Structure 1
Amino acid sequence: MPAFDPSHTQLSVIIVSADSGPSLRDCVKSVLACTVPLELLLIDNASSDGIPQAIARARENDARFKVIYNHANLGFGPAVNRAVSQAHGDVLLILNPDCLIDDASLRRLLDVLATEHKAGLVGAVVCDAQGVPDPASFRRDPVLGRALATLFKRSGGVNAHSIPDHVVDAEAVSGAVMLIRDHVFETLHGFDEKYFLHCEDLDLCRRVRDAGWRVLLAGDVRVLHGKGGSSKHRPVFVSYHKHRGMWRWFRKFDPSARNPLLATVVWTGIWLRFLLKIPGQWLRMMTR
């Protein structure tokens, strides 16, 4: 294999792992099977399963691959930011450790980013093993009215009614697959590190749009997403940070947060929802 030359690397793929399980091996394999010139930075948040170390040993002769070890779980956004500081590419692909991407899909995403006017960030349609699209692939800002519509299963909610099969502008795309220009990411100072897990992708999409770039969904690109391999054994922990992220996004971006009484009601509703979910999460974890 020829020596790795960072000056010719146009794409940096960043994967964050945290006890992500065996699917991480397949994710890394799928990326390194692509023919696009790239580097892959796997940044590990103190996993105890030994899989990142095993992958590093198996891939020690592949100069495109690098593992960065954190000594604690820093959270998703902070880990990505640290990996980006060591990346060489002009374009960043942020990829979940339970996603599988192929060469054609990767090239299509790069083409959309390169050819669409003012494109700053491009997402893909993430699907389960049966090919069913995740509604989170094509979302709108979760302002209070939309969040309530989603909660009560009414029209006008956060998720779109249908997933398009072509390139469209989006308010937000899934953080499982996000292609973004490095200079856009750097201009925005990366992910907001006050999110630990969940909603940081919504936050980044909003800031990309606010800064004048377009967020796009490549509806013709479908990526298999295993859905939460690292969260299955700690659902309450993940749920806590998801609800904490909801509150932070609301405080930053929703005009309703300017009303102290309404903000108090929203805060109460978010944490009541979290508490009500705990028994079911514990039961599902115990019966696996």
Structure 2
Amino acid sequence: MKVSFIIINYNSSHHTLACVESVREQSKSVNYEIIVVDNGSSIQDYQKLSALTVVSELKIVRSDRNLGFSGGHLFGLNAVDPDSYYYFFLNNDCLLLDDLCSRLSSYMNDHPDVGLCTGQMIRPGGDQEPSFTYFPTVGSKLLGHAIVRWFNPAAYPKRQKIYNEPVQVPVITGSALFTRAKAFLEVGGFDPSYFLYCEEEDLCLRLRQANWKVMLVPDVKFLHIGGGSTESSPTAEKEYYISLFRYFRKHTSRPVQLTMRLFYTLKIARRYLRNSRNARLAWFILRGAPESESLRHRFA
């Protein structure tokens, strides 16, 4: 059962080269292909990917502009083998530490109700990093995760816990998304209206609504180096709220949207004394985090 890796490069070819090498080293028992998507990088960075042209199982496809997370992965899917049984969306700042691909595919072969899974994420220092998160809800934001977990523990498994057995989780973080092609295509794949952030929440919610399970398989591991294509900045922070409120508009009622807008406005405004730019961010959220100010327009 063929696995298609889709790896996005955006001005971070050094990460991409290392990521591809780890895939080749740890996937020798797997029938796989690698699609590297250059997502509108500078010509200098793109040219550094030429070292990969000798890899027979690899294709490089280039977009002339940055399509974002969803758009970049969908662009790469145009080049995958139509007979691929699994898609592995892997951030280029990740390295496989063991035969993760063969073991995740074996797990999903044995569990046909699982649509999406991942392994345990590890930091460079060796510590565990949470591989999953929660859906953003009014209850969890107003009351806190500890309280809502008391009412519904299955919906809020502890993120910092060390798991020894596979566990069903709400949302897998986007660093390493191993998905059954059938499930992914059934729910419509990534929504390209998200440029950055919240793509995982949106995908996992639609999978859950279609009765597919999302699982953490903790006995396989990958290293998350960080510092890949997306860096923290005021602009990126605004983009997060643009995506978050798109998620609310798509999946929640108008009263919930207004409640969350007020919650985040007050939350950010309280940080004003620490940094005056938080006042501008709070005003941006109060205005509904308008999509007209998205980064996508910078790259159009």
Q: TM class, shorter-chain normalised? A: 0.7 to 0.9
Q: Structure 1 residues 260 and 141, CA, compared in 2 at 3 Å: closer, same or farther?
A: closer
1:249 to 247, 250, 270: 247
> Which range moved further: 264-273 or 83-92?
264-273
Q: Which amino acid in the other structure matches residue 125 of structure 1? A: Q
Query: Which residue in the other structure is 2:139 paired with?
Result: 145
In structure 1, the partner of 2:44 is 50
Aligned partner (choices 10, 14, 37) of residue 2 of structure 2: 10
CA contact (8 A) 1:139 1:171 kept: yes
Q: Secondary structure at the match of 1:69?
A: strand
User: Which residues of 2 match residues 126-275 of structure 1 at below 5 A?
Assistant: 126-135=121-130, 137-149=131-143, 156=148, 160-232=159-231, 235-254=233-252, 257-259=254-256, 261-266=258-263, 268-269=265-266, 272=269
Map of 1:68 onto structure 2:
61
Task: Between 28-37 and 92-101, report the one with greater CA deviation.
Answer: 28-37
Q: Is the 8 A contact 1:94 1:176 kept in 2?
A: yes
Cα–Cα, structure 1 residues 59 and 17, in superposed 2: closer, same or farther, change >3 Å? closer
Q: Which residue identity is paired with 2:59?
A: K
29-38 or 91-100: bigger deviation: 29-38
Q: Distance in 2 between matches of 1:277 and 1:17?
A: 32
Greater mean alpha carbon deviation, residues 154-163 or residues 14-23? 154-163
AA matched with 1:19: N
Aligned length: 266
Q: Is the Cα–Cα contact under 8 Å of residues 89 and 176 in structure 2 kept in the other structure?
A: yes
> Which digits, 9 at most, give the CA deviation of each residue in 1:104-142, with x for residues without a partner?
22211111111124011111221211122223x122212
Mapped to 1, the partners of 2:106 and 2:76 lie a distance apart of: 24
Q: CA deviation at 1:260?
A: 6.2
Q: Which amino acid in 1 is paired with 2:53?
A: E
Specify every segment of 5 or more residues in structure 1 that has no aligned partner in the other structure, as ranges.
Answer: 1-8, 281-288
Alpha-carbon separation, structure 2, partners of 1:263 and 1:279:
20
Report the 3-state secondary structure (helix = DSSP H, G, I; strand = E; otherwise coil) of the residue aligned with 1:141.
coil
SS of corresponding position for 1:124:
strand
Alignment CA distance shift 1:184-1:230 (3 Å): same
TM-score normalised according to structure 1 size: 0.82
CA offsets 1:43-75 (integer angstroms, 9 cap, x no match): 1111127344322x2122222111111111111
**Counterpart position of 1:87:** 80
Among residues 34, 52, 56, which one is paired with 1:40 in the alignment? 34
Q: Does residue 115 in structure 1 map to residue 110 in structure 2?
A: yes
Contact 2:85/2:182 (CA < 8 Å) preserved in 1? Answer: yes
Q: What is the identity, as a one-letter code, of the residue corresponding to 1:188? A: V
Counterpart residue type for residue 122 of structure 2? C
SS at match of 1:201: helix
Confirm or deny: 8 A CA contact 2:122 2:222 kept in the other structure: yes
Relative distance call for 1:30 and 1:260 in structure 2 (3 A) is closer
SS in 2 for 1:68: strand
Aligned partner of 1:124: which letter? G
The sequence identity of aligned pairs, in percent, is: 28
For residues 234-257 of structure 1, give each alpha carbon's deviation from its aligned partner in whole angstroms, at most 9, with x where no partner exists.
6223222212122122233345x4
Q: CA deviation at 1:184?
A: 1.5
RMSD over equivalenced CA pairs, Å: 2.7
Distance 1:155 1:248, change over 3 A: same
Q: 1:260 to 1:223 in 2, by over 3 A?
A: closer
| AA partner of residue 108 (structure 1) | R
8 A contact 1:243–1:274 mirrored in 2: no
Partner in structure 2 of residue 283 of structure 1? none
Per the alignment, do residues 18 and 260 of structure 1 end up closer, same or farther by CA in structure 2, a change over 3 Å counting? closer
Distance 1:54 1:146 in 2: 44
Aligned to 2:12: 20
Q: Pick closer, same or farther for the CA change 1:215–1:273 going to 2, 3 Å.
A: farther
Letter in 2 for 1:173: I
